[in-house]
Amino acid sequence: MMGYYIIAGAIFLVSTFVSRKLKSKFEYYSKVSLRNGLSGREIAEKMLADNGIYDVEVISTPGQLTDHYNPANKTVNLSEVVYNQRNASAAAVAAHEVGHAVQHATAYSWLKMRSAIVPAVGISSKFSNIVIMAGLFLSASGTVFGNTVFLAGIVLFGITTLFTFITLPVEYDASNRALAWLKNKNMVTPEEYKGSEDALKWAARTYLVAALGSLATLLYFVSIFLNRR
């Protein structure tokens, strides 16, 4: 299992670096005040209106970097600082989350695909590691069906990995929609746009690291399975 710990450690270090970089970027660009004086809530509401979406509510949610779009009740949930503040970071996050609302309204294929496998991911994320460990233990103890259990765990983990990769185009597309709207509608100055773009790039990298880390772990488990056959 030494290989697993090496992979997990490397993923943790890279993920920590990207996460800290993301927080520092948002803190830095939160000091770049918007010349138009609009808050994150007002940015979100305007982008929704400009896209002809009137059945989505913009609400405030507790915490930091807790912003998300909920397709179930059609709400753009903005963290308190994003909801109230009037800076490049708030504009970037608010527009990005509305980007997901636009995806939902236009039946964006990757978003539909991600939503379709959410139930399966909920199960796989809870049980994949347990089943994998059980399979490894049973195989080591010489149990006949140990490899079958191990393979079942790999399949479950594969569903989670698939989800992380489907998430990538969803997140990148939402950022592209946000940046295009901010620029085309002259919502921000060139300096403010640069800050919004940089912040969203680092946010996207967190999803990229998660996907690559999940894939590396999956391939490691697959290699173990193949070597035990």
Given the structure tokens 């002809």, which residue do they identify?
52
Q: How many domains does the chain have?
A: 1
What are the catalytic residues?
A: 97
Domain that holds residue 68: 2-228
Q: pLDDT per residue over 40-96, tens digit each? A: 999 999 999 999 999 999 999 998 889 999 999 999 999 999 999 999 999 999 999
Identify the pLDDT of residue 5.
Answer: 77
Quick one: which of 99, 103, 61, 98 has its CA closest to 79? 61
Identify the pLDDT of residue 6.
Answer: 85
Q: pLDDT per residue over 117-157, tens digit each? A: 999 999 999 999 999 999 999 988 877 789 999 999 999 99
- pTM equals 0.90
Identify the pLDDT of residue 1.
Answer: 61
Record the tokens describing residue 20, joined without a space.
Answer: 């800290």
Is the pLDDT assigned to residue 114 strictly greater than 90?
yes
- CA terminus-to-terminus distance, the chain: 17
